[in-house]
Amino acid sequence: MKRSRLFSWFKDISIAKKLYFTVGVMALLIGVELFMLFFSIHTLSSVRAYVEGEGLWSKAQKDASYHLLRYGIWQDEKDYEMFKEFIKVPLGDSKTRQELMKKDPDMQIARQGFIEGRNHPDDVNGMIKLFRRFNSISYINRAIYYWGEAEPAVLKLIPIGDSLHMEINKASPSPEKINELLQKINPITEKVTVSEDNFSFSLAEGSRWLENIILKLLFVIAITVEISGLLLTISVSRSLQNGLSEILNATNSFAKGNLAARAKVFSLDEIGSLAYSFNKMSAKLEQSISELEQAQTKFKGLLESAPDAIVIMDKEGIIKLVNAQAEKLFEYDRNDLLSQSINLLVIDRSKNSSAHQGKHFFKLSHMHRTILNVYGRKKNGNEFPVEINFSPLETEDGLLVSVAVRDISDRKYIKELERKNTELEQFVYIASHDLQEPLNTITSFISLIEEEHKDKLDKEGAVYIDYIRESANRMTMLITDILDYSRIGRKSRFEIMDCNEIVEQVIRDMNATLLETHAKITCNKLPLIKGYPIEIRLLFQNLISNAVKFQKKNVSPVIKIAAFEEKDFWHFTVEDNGIGIDKKHKDKIFVIFQRLHNLRKYDGTGIGLAHCKKIIELHHGQIWVESVEHEGSTFHFTLSKMEENA
């Protein structure tokens, strides 16, 4: 856990810091190594000093023994002096050893002792340190032990020397005594030599051990320095490499079009922040690109959902884009249109030359104008009138022009139809007026003749006059009917009305006829509808009066009116028990002035059902009849629930 925290900390520091850190660790390790080297050299040098010291010590002991022997033999005081001089060396060393063995040694005394032991003053400090530092190490400990063992033996020489000096300086020195004293010297030397050897061995062993240890240590440290340096370098370079290759991969992937490509952020260092910045940039780019794509999709959607055929062209009139409606309108495949000239599809008849129509259209587009007298041309060469609308379109590919093309053949046709209709209405109005005037004259003068010249007419003449009058009246009725028929739906307002009220009113108006014929009318509850009130009233009136009129002799009319609700419309029925209609006349009865019966039997002009049909068509409904001859008829009609224009 701690390691990983350290690891992650290292991961996240800056690259410069990483490098400083790596170099720092290596410098530290090298420092340690140097220190170790220095320490070991120092220690080995101290060992060397001890070896030297031991040499001095042993030489001094041997010289002291030799001079003591000489003194005993030659009794020269000079030798005694020499003895004393040489014995100082082991004495000095002893002083140091004893001092250093104490818990709180006096370094002054210890140093003094070694100097007296003829050791080089530069070596003294190292020797003291080695003694104190390593006396727990077995080799040093043993060496010190052998040193300590040799010391009392050597020091025994001093009393021997003193006794010898006293004996010799006596008035009468005893040669036996002297000899006896001298006899003691050699065993000491022999004994000390053993200890000296042991000391030397131990020290040598210790120094070898130390050498060994130091070599190993140095080796280990060197290896550590190398490995840690290597590891750090690898780790730093790998983390750099990982981060960089991640960014590189992400960049390549992004460049290849994978907009979702992102670099993994491994650390918070410069590479990490580079990756982070790259991610931020690519996210922004992705967003912009997706916004762009969305805008493009939107544009395409708009283009395709437009009700008009849309062709997008450039300045030269070259087609760049078309929508499905354009394909359909011109009956081309879109691939056949792209890169073609607009001239292929649109011709401006007001221009003589067709050569530069593209540019001509482009110029027009700046005026946001709808131009007239333009024709579209289908693949099969058929031309049709179009209305064309230009609007300039700023795009990154430069200025384009969107050309909306609308087929107006229908509109032209409808306009033509409307014009014809108006003309026809006018014609009907004028014609009926002009027809009526002579009729009026006829009826007027017939009435004058009847009034003023009745007595001059014989019976036959009176009947003829009657025929003329009747025919004229009938003609007047026919003309009036035509006029009424042509006026259905004109100037009338679409409104909500209650069918129950309308039927009631119609029945009230027909009261006299109904009483006379003993007609019985039943009416279910009828709905509220939207329509032209005058016309709807006329519809019911015609149907009811027909039901009453076309009745079997001596049978009272029974009429049932009902309405049923359907999904989008109301379905009305008017049922009677009348004479019925032959199947083959089912459609004929709705045609104007079509009569099925003799005037003497059933009068009328034959316009009633034609009115009904026109009224129903005005309301976008349907009217039909179901009938069984001699049993009765049921007239059905439907009225839309929708608003006008439904």
Partner 1 sequence: MKKKLNCILLIEDNEFTNIFNQKLIKNLDIAEQVYVTESGKEGLDFLFNKGKFESNEINYPTPDVIFLDINMPGMNGWEFIDELKEKKDGEPISSKIVMLTTSPNPDDEQTAKLIREIIAFKRKPLTKIVVNEIITEHFPDYV
Applying CB under 8 A, which of residues 44, 115, 265, 483 lies at the interface with partner 1? 483
Stretch that binds partner 1, among 180-188, 193-201, 265-273, 476-484 (CB under 8 A): 476-484
What SS3 class is residue 572?
Answer: strand
Stretch that binds partner 1, among 346-354, 445-453, 461-469, 495-503 (CB under 8 A): 445-453
Closest CA to 56 of 196, 265, 239, 195: 196
441 binds partner 1 (CB under 8 A): yes
468 binds partner 1 (CB under 8 A): no
Applying CB under 8 A, which of residues 432, 551, 577, 638 lies at the interface with partner 1? 432
Structure tokens at 314: 């450039």
436 binds partner 1 (CB under 8 A): yes
DSSP classification of residue 456? G
Applying CB under 8 A, which of residues 375, 429, 602, 624 lies at the interface with partner 1? 429
Min dist. Cβ of residue 617 to partner 1 (A): 21
Applying CB under 8 A, which of residues 443, 541, 627, 640 lies at the interface with partner 1? 443
In angstroms, the CA 319 to CA 358 distance is 10
487 binds partner 1 (CB under 8 A): yes
Q: For 306-382, where are the alpha helices, taking DSSP H only?
A: 324-330, 334-337, 357-365
Residue number, 297 or 447, with CB nearest to partner 1:
447
493 binds partner 1 (CB under 8 A): no
Going by DSSP bridges, is the β-strand pair 520-523/558-565 parallel, antiparallel, or unpaired?
Answer: parallel
Residue number, 17 or 454, with CB nearest to partner 1:
454
Closest CA to 151 of 105, 112, 96: 96
In angstroms, the CA 229 to CA 223 distance is 10
Is 519 in contact with 574 (CB distance < 8 Å)?
Answer: no
Closest CA to 207 of 54, 96, 58: 54
344 binds partner 1 (CB under 8 A): no
Rg value, the chain, Cα: 69
Applying CB under 8 A, which of residues 219, 445, 464, 564 lies at the interface with partner 1? 445
395 binds partner 1 (CB under 8 A): no
Would you put residue 489 in left (φ > 0), alpha (ψ -120 to 50) or beta?
left
Structure tokens at 368: 């946001």
Stretch that binds partner 1, among 144-152, 225-233, 309-317, 439-447 (CB under 8 A): 439-447
Applying CB under 8 A, which of residues 169, 305, 447, 524 lies at the interface with partner 1? 447
Within 13 Å of residue 319, how many CA atoms lie on the same side as its CB? 25
426 binds partner 1 (CB under 8 A): no
Min dist. Cβ of residue 483 to partner 1 (A): 6
491 binds partner 1 (CB under 8 A): yes
In angstroms, the CA 488 to CA 225 distance is 112
In angstroms, the CA 216 to CA 244 distance is 41
485 binds partner 1 (CB under 8 A): no
Stretch that binds partner 1, among 89-97, 288-296, 438-446, 553-561 (CB under 8 A): 438-446
Stretch that binds partner 1, among 75-83, 323-331, 416-424, 443-451 (CB under 8 A): 443-451
Burial level of 565, CB count in 10 A (0-12/13-18/19+)?
Answer: exposed
Binding residues vs partner 1 (CB under 8 A): 429, 432-433, 436-437, 440-441, 443-445, 447-448, 451, 479-480, 483, 487, 491
